[in-house]
Amino acid sequence: MALLELKDIARRFQLGDTTVNALSDLNLRIDAGDYVAVMGPSGSGKSTLLNLLGLLDRPSAGSYLLEGRDVTTLSPDALAGVRSTRIGFVFQSFHLVPRLTAAENIALPMTLAGIPAAERRQRVRQALGDFGLENRADHRPDQLSGGQRQRVAIARATIMQPALILADEPTGNLDRHTGDEVVRLLEELNGRGVTLIVVTHDPSLGARARRQLRMEDGRLQSDSAQRPGAIAEIAPRPGGSVAA
Amino acid sequence: MRFPDILRFARDAATGYPLRTALSVLAMSIGVAAVVILTALGDGARRYVIGQFSSLGSNLVIVLPGRSGTGGFNPANAITSTPRDLTIDDAAALLRGSAIQRVAPLVVGSSEISAGGRLREVMVAGTTASYFAIRNFALAQGSALPEEDWGRGSSVAVIGHKIGQEIFGSNSAIGQWVRIGDRRLRVIGVLKPLGQGLGMNTDELVIIPVALAQALFNSNTLFRILVEAKSRSAISGARQQASDILKQRHRGEEDVTVITQDAVLATFDKLLGALTLGVAGIAAISLAVAGILVMNVMLVAVTQRTSEIGLLKALGASGRTIRLAFLAEAAMLSAVGALLGYLLGQLGAFALRQLFPVFPAYPPDWAVIAGLATALATGLLFGFMPARRAAQMDPVQALMSH
Ligand SMILES: Nc1ncnc2c1ncn2[C@@H]1O[C@H](COP(=O)(O)OP(=O)(O)OP(=O)(O)O)[C@@H](O)[C@H]1O
Ligand SMILES: [Mg+2]
């Protein structure tokens, strides 16, 4: 079953009296558990697409079905609810809250969702272990290395056990080695069934994904899985694991 | 988001920006401190005056010559240019009133007192024995003025405590002779030290028989007649009787003013109460200013933390959660400021009381409660706009701002 489905999506920005077509004629279907890399030149609309998928932005036209539900008509608070439980974000610049400790940053989505403190503590402890951050629980972001920061951010993105993780250039601010480490973490999550969509400029990183999307000028220029238009009848691929 | 979590989040946010937080807390605390101190001053003035009036004596009715405005304008009085004077006989006549317990005529002037080569200026009160009872004067030594014919006046004086010390030092003043104006008088009593009374320092007062004082000041009129009613409930009866008797004696003209202590007290109470209220109002303006400052601080906070707001939205925070978080922060700034201001204000009032012990500068409860409530209300009110702005931010734009 498709986790999400975009039909004839367009996203236009109005800049003075010129219209920027950040996305146009976009049709896309992504299956649950898939691992998708989005590539393309700067300004081709990758981030705009990711923001739409993450319900941070609304399309100017077209429809977006997430887990079978049309989310283009939801209220802002309903969208927030979907983001809270179904979607995790990993950003290039980490986006940790500077005054909160690593543990508090990881707990933040649960805090916002009103999950009781005892359960938060238990899940954060688990996550700190999973991401090798046991000794960093009480450190603030400025006391962490870049790789550690991104690991905190990934722990935070997964703490609500979302169905979909969106990562916009997650290794963009990291060196090769720590970048690889972060990618491995994300791929492990995908191995456990979470759908992973990564925007990247790095071809070797993009090549690791099961499916590659190439954007240009706001359009889907190529899709390694299918030729556009022939997707509907094809059965979902078995969710085989990918060598990490 | 759970309530305790919202509070903790707001607290961390506030302490994360110490300068900004300190500034708005300071502004708020100055506002509240101003309310507390200014109302303490206003209410202190009210208590002081009431205390002074109460010390005049109980169940007191005072007769003054001349008609004051309180009875409304009477054209007949306007034509009689000079009001009839009050005389000793007027005072004596008041004793007929059934509700009247005691009457004391009063003449006041200043003169010089000399004895043993020492000379000084004094306030002289000419009155009768009943004056001591009406004003609850106690004697340190000797006795009060004798009961005698008011028109006669024996050559005796009761002197204030300080006068006694200045003129006779450690020697007993009783039985000594003093010269007041052109009279030689024998000291028969010394008042207990009392300190400042309303407009008349009894420690520096000399009390002599009323007839003597009139001769001394070469006049046969009275400054006041003090009347003591038989009981608290008889005060209005005594007032009416005094009025009636004097009207009758003055050929039907109402040319005196009879006031009761209660009425005077009530007037002052109202007047100074209004003053306190006005002062509180002025202080409330500083609270509003503090509220505006909190608003600005919160607007800066929202701008500074735009990308954080974007993140919170990405992590699934609803508009309501974000609004509450920022409102809680504003409320916290105002609450801490209000509390600090309350302590500062109480400290200030305490300092005032230490500096001026006679002045009971206690802030009234209503002012303290209103001050704190206004601080919190303005904080929330002015915190609302920035909180709403934060909640309405576009998440993508917010996330991109760095
Ligand atoms: N808020 C906006 N207002 C106006 N134009 C915008 C806005 N956001 C994006 N755009 C435009 O939309 C187009 C796509 O932008 P987008 O950020 O999606 O590109 P990108 O593929 O992520 O580029 P990069 O690789 O540099 O991150 C660009 O031309 C950009 O200028
Ligand atoms: Mg981008």
Which residue's CA is minimally distant from atom 27 of ligand 1?
Answer: A42
Query: Where is pLDDT greater, at B27 or A108?
Result: A108
Statement: residue A148 has pLDDT above 70: yes
Closest alpha carbon within chain B to A111: B1
Q: Which of B:3-42 have CB within 8 Å of A?
A: 5, 9, 12-13, 15-16
The number of the ligand 1 atom at minimal distance from the alpha carbon of A14 is 4
Statement: residue B108 has pLDDT above 80: yes
Ligand 2 centroid, distance to B195 Cα (angstroms) = 85
Ligand 1 pocket check for A15: Cβ under 6 Å: yes
B306-322 pLDDT, tens per residue?
A: 999 999 999 999 999 99
Q: What is the mean pLDDT of the segment spanning B226-237? A: 88
Which residue's CA is minimally distant from atom 20 of ligand 1?
Answer: A43
Statement: residue A215 has pLDDT above 90: yes
A56, A105, A115: best to mutate for the B interface, most B CBs within 10 A: A56
Residues in chain A with CB shorter than 8 Å from the CB of B12 are 99-100
**According to the model, what pLDDT value does residue B71 have?**
45
**Burial bucket for residue A170 (CB in 10 Å: 0-12, 13-18, 19+):** buried
Contact call for B399 and A111, based on CB within 8 A:
no
Closest alpha carbon within chain A to B307: A95
**According to the model, what pLDDT value does residue B402 have?**
66
Q: Which residues of A touch B (CB under 8 A)?
A: 51, 54, 56-57, 76-77, 80-85, 89, 91, 93, 95, 97-100, 108-109, 111-114, 116-117, 156, 160
Ligand 1 pocket check for A107: Cβ under 6 Å: no
Q: What is the overall mean pLDDT for chain A?
A: 90
Yes or no: say if B107 and B86 are a contact pair by the CB < 8 Å rule. no
**According to the model, what pLDDT value does residue B55 have?**
67
Amino acid identity at A75: S
Domain boundaries, chain A: 2-94+163-223
Ligand 1 pocket check for A44: Cβ under 6 Å: yes
Ligand 1 pocket check for A27: Cβ under 6 Å: no
Yes or no: say if A9 and A215 are a contact pair by the CB < 8 Å rule. no
**According to the model, what pLDDT value does residue B289 have?**
82
pTM of the model: 0.70
Contact call for B396 and A57, based on CB within 8 A:
yes
Distance of alpha carbon A22 from alpha carbon A12, whole angstroms? 6
Statement: residue B342 has pLDDT above 80: yes
Other residues' Cβ atoms within 10 Å of the Cβ of residue A12: 15
Ligand 1 pocket check for A32: Cβ under 6 Å: no
Query: Regarding the domain delimited by A2-94+163-223, which CATH topology (the fold level of the hierarchy) does it fall under?
Result: Rossmann fold (3.40.50)
Q: What is the mean pLDDT of the segment spanning A99-105? A: 95
B9-49 pLDDT, tens per residue?
A: 999 999 988 988 898 899 889 888 988 998 898 888 888 88
pLDDT band at B232 (very low <50, low <70, confident <90, very high): confident
**According to the model, what pLDDT value does residue B73 have?**
45
Distance of alpha carbon A106 from alpha carbon A122, whole angstroms? 12
B357-401 pLDDT, tens per residue?
A: 888 889 988 888 988 888 888 888 888 888 998 999 999 999 988
Contact call for B316 and A113, based on CB within 8 A:
yes
Closest CA to B132 of B177, B46, B48, B194: B194
**According to the model, what pLDDT value does residue A58 have?**
94
Contact call for A111 and B319, based on CB within 8 A:
no
The number of the ligand 1 atom at minimal distance from the alpha carbon of B396 is 1
Statement: residue B75 has pLDDT above 60: no
* Residue A184 C-alpha from the chain's centroid: 15
Distance of alpha carbon A132 from alpha carbon B26, whole angstroms? 44
Distance of alpha carbon A37 from alpha carbon A203, whole angstroms? 10
Distance of alpha carbon A126 from alpha carbon A132, whole angstroms? 10
Name the one residue in this structure whose structure tokens are 């969106």.
A166
Q: What is the overall mean pLDDT for chain B?
A: 86
Distance of alpha carbon A102 from alpha carbon A140, whole angstroms? 6
Which residues in B95-247 belong to E strands, given as ranges?
Answer: 100-115, 118-127, 139-142, 156-159, 177-180, 183-191, 196-197, 200-201, 205-209, 224-229
B159-211 pLDDT, tens per residue?
A: 998 888 888 888 888 999 999 988 899 999 999 887 655 556 788 899 999 99
Distance of alpha carbon A104 from alpha carbon A117, whole angstroms? 11
Contact call for B321 and A112, based on CB within 8 A:
yes
Residues in chain A with CB shorter than 8 Å from the CB of B2 are 111, 114, 116
Closest alpha carbon within chain B to A51: B396
**According to the model, what pLDDT value does residue B74 have?**
47
**According to the model, what pLDDT value does residue A111 have?**
96
Q: What is the mean pLDDT of the segment spanning A39-49? A: 95
**According to the model, what pLDDT value does residue A98 have?**
93
Q: How many CA atoms lie within 13 A of B59 on its CB side?
A: 19
